[in-house]
Amino acid sequence: MKKIKLIKLGLILTFFCISVAQGKTLFKSVEIIGNQRVEKATILNYLDLPKGKSVSKKQMDSALKSLFNTDLFSDVKIDAQGEKLIVKVVENPVVAGVYFEGNKKLEDKALFTEIQTKERGVFTKAKIQADMERLLEVYRRIGRFNTSVVPKIIKRDFNRVDVVFEINEGKPSYIRKIAFIGNHHFSAKKLKEILMSKEEKWFRFFSSMDTYDPERFDYDKQMLRKFYMSHGYIDFKIKEAQVELAPDKTSFFITYEIEEGSQYTISKVDVRVHIPGVEKKQLEGLIKVEVKKPYSSATIYKTIDAMTDFLGDKGFPFVDVSSQIKKNKTDVELTFLINEGAHVFVDKINISGNSRTLDKIIRREFTFSEGDAFNAAKFRKTKQKIENLGYFSKVDMDVAPLMGVKDKLDANLVVQEKSTGSFNLGIGWSTYDGMLFDIGLKERNLLGTGLIVGASASISENDIIYDLSFADPYFRDMPLLFGVNLFHVEHDYRDVSSYNWTTVGASFKFGWNWLEDLSQIVKYTLQEDKVTDVPTTASSLVQEQAGTTIVSSISQTLSYDKRDNRFYPTEGYVVSLSTDLAGFGGDVHYLRGQISLDKYYSFFDKNLILSLTSSVGAIGGIGEDVGIYNRFFMGGGNLRGFESSGIGAITITGEDALGGNWRALAGAELNFPLGLPDEVGLKGKVFIDTGILGKPDDFDKEEVYYSSKPRASVGFGLIWKSPMGPINIDWGFPILKDKYDKKEVFRLNFGTGF
């Protein structure tokens, strides 16, 4: 027995010696010292050390690092005292509040989203340092490279701290000069117009484009390449792009060293089809490229998209349309290759970043679904549709092949939300309405549902207008627009027709697209019209209009829109046909119709824009005369050089405008640059307006002056897309008129929103 005991003692001593030699410690209990908020069990969990077993120095070091990595403690010490492990911790404070001081250009709300330190979070020096660097980066993005950020820590009771970021925003760092080296075919002035970044000028006080932004700088390089490639310079290169910051950190100097190469023209265009069942002739009509014209990458992409869409509609979803060029000395031979693409299907559509907008609101814009064949053209079109919603400041789409699956991929969409609500407060003046005020609230994506709601009021010397609106672009989850409007309108026509007109009512509309460019809106309106304040000295033709009527009408507008931009068109055309039928239970019965055509042409790289406009309209009473407020009027905005309602039938007594039962208008306007930078937004214009206004009902030659001859005017003016809103100034001069017509040489319309 003694021998056995001696053997056991020897083994224990040997094990102990080996453990000591290997730096191991045996402990049976753990004591935590210094913890106030953090539970002992939480600390033991992070330690992850086995009790009752030997622990090496390496394991203890790992446990120490594990506790530090939690960011819960500012100091940690681990010591072994016999069979007890002593863990001493000093907890990091809790952040009681986070504040910003000195920030004027960026609001607190915007800065809070950029930092890691949050109220009721754990305070760490590493987070504060990272937040300082992040805030400096945010200010650099808006051109403030002189900004300094100093954090101040204010201690509170119960181990809490307030964090105050003291910000000195400094002066903005403007772009003083943008220079080009190697440009021989395009002037520096032309190339500067292409860039988003601009040189500092006095008129850019409402813009931030003259401050340096690295992301904008990278985008500018892409725009330069795109511009040259679209003008036939296939070999174009940016050899070097330098950005230099002045020693005082308030000025940037940007220099692009480029190599333009030669301009290539298209000498030959061919199509090679390698898909059974597809004929070459079917695709030749889709080619947008013209022979003997400069090579244009933009036109080639349009052709590829058109061919891909066409083949997809014809039942060929797996196609790969690409272009191939053969360069000669001064020209290129272009070939479109139509091959069968890989049979790849969309497995899942993943959407992220939409913290507010519901998934289904985004998914309904997709031109493909999960399980569909992947189509590159539909993929690009989906991205464009989502961007056009106006809900997001950034839209990124890509595809990710599934691991181990050759014929499937995921479509990933990442969006960044932006504000979709607006508050407008406007003030303006016009020669007809005098001083005018506008106020409006609008939300284009109510609670992320895609619903549109708005309320507005407009008050001027002659008009008071109130409007409430609601619209659902996808009524009952169908591509069908449904809208409701409630309105109250008061018009003071006493200057032109000796009466006031008030209308109150509601309208309900449905709208849809027959084709991509063909849309229709059908609307029902119920309104009450009142003609009041007619003086006894007014003509009997006006006095008999006094009273109240109920109008119940159905109207529709069919539009075919091929303009390149619906707000500022430069090319294309739009045709619209509208009709109104009143008499569904109301007091008024009439049929009105109008057709209009607007055509736009651009010349000299879109520096000259010619717009041709025309419209013809007519209204006829059904078993009754047409009321004065439902007739057509001419002058002012639709026939410059004449006052509003300044031509047509006019009563001898009181000289009241009566309007007409039909109208024809035509005009031409040429917009041209004035030699100022594009962002100034100021352009000149010359115009000619013509029109004929027909007779009203109850026409009486003894009481009314009227001439059926056409009227016309010519003039010039200015268009300013100012930061405060659009301003239009016209000087019009009648060249065809009647002696009773009322002229108006100068006309100004000004409005603003802020």
Per residue in 589-626, pLDDT tens?
999 999 999 999 999 878 899 999 999 999 999 989 89
Do 78 and 98 fall into the same domain?
no
Do 393 and 435 belong together in one domain?
Answer: no
User: Do 250 and 313 have their domain in common?
Assistant: no
On whether both 359 and 479 belong to a single domain, the answer is no
In this structure, the answer to whether residues 632 and 654 fall within a common structural domain is yes
Residues 380, 459: one domain? no
> Which token pair is 444?
């284009």
pLDDT reading at 557 higher than 70: yes
The whole model's pTM is what? 0.66
On whether both 486 and 633 belong to a single domain, the answer is yes
Higher per-residue pLDDT: 542 or 9: 542
**Would residue 214 count as lying in a domain?**
yes
213/199 same-domain check = yes
Phi and psi at residue 458, to the nearest 5°: -135, 130
Sheet holding 392-401, edge to edge: 345-352, 408-417, 392-401
Residue 2 lies in a domain: no
Whichever domain contains 540, its CATH number is 2.40.160.50
pLDDT at 157: 86
The closest alpha carbon to 198, from 213, 186, 185, belongs to: 213
Give the end of a domain, one of 340, 366, 392. 340
* Residue 163 pLDDT class (50, 70, 90 cuts): very high
Q: How many domains does the chain have?
A: 6
Give dist(CA 582, CA 526) in Å, integer.
10
pLDDT at 13: 44
Structural domain including 143 reads 94-168
72-76, 119-123, 163-167, 659-663: segment of lowest average pLDDT: 72-76
pLDDT above 60 (res 299) = yes
Answer yes or no: do 230 and 105 share one domain.
no
pLDDT of 162 reads 93
**CATH classification of the domain holding 306:** 3.10.20.310
Residue 541: other Cβ atoms inside 10 A: 22
Asked, for residue 15, whether it belongs to a domain, the answer is no
Phi, psi for residue 408 in degrees, rounded to 5: -135, 150
Average pLDDT, integer, range 208-221:
84
Is residue 10 included in any domain, yes or no? no
What DSSP line would sit under 447-494, residue for residue? TTTTEEEEEEEEEESSEEEEEEEEEETTGGGSS-EEEEEEEEEEEE-T
CB 176 within 8 A of CB 253: yes
With 80 as the cut, is the pLDDT of residue 210 above it?
yes
Give the residue carrying structure tokens 């000259």: 608
Domain boundary among 125, 152, 168: 168
- Tell me which of 213, 231, 259 is where a domain ends: 259
612 occurs within a structural domain? yes
pLDDT exceeds cutoff 60 at 15? no
CA 630 to chain centre: 37
List, for residues 273-291, the tens digit of each pLDDT value: 988 888 888 888 888 888 9
> 184-201, pLDDT tens digit by residue?
999 998 899 889 888 887
625 and 548 assigned to the same domain:
yes
In a shared domain, residues 154 and 283: no
Of 700, 689, 615, nearest in space to 649 by CA: 700
**What is the per-residue pLDDT across 398-427, written as a single tens digit (0 to 9) for each?**
888 888 788 899 999 998 888 788 776 656
Is 375 a residue whose pLDDT tops 90?
no
User: Are 674 and 608 contained in the same domain?
Assistant: yes
| Residue 522 in domain | yes
Confirm whether 558 is domain-assigned.
Answer: yes
pLDDT band at 533, cuts 50/70/90?
A: confident
Structure tokens at 87: 């863990």
Secondary structure of residue 6 in the 3-state scheme: helix
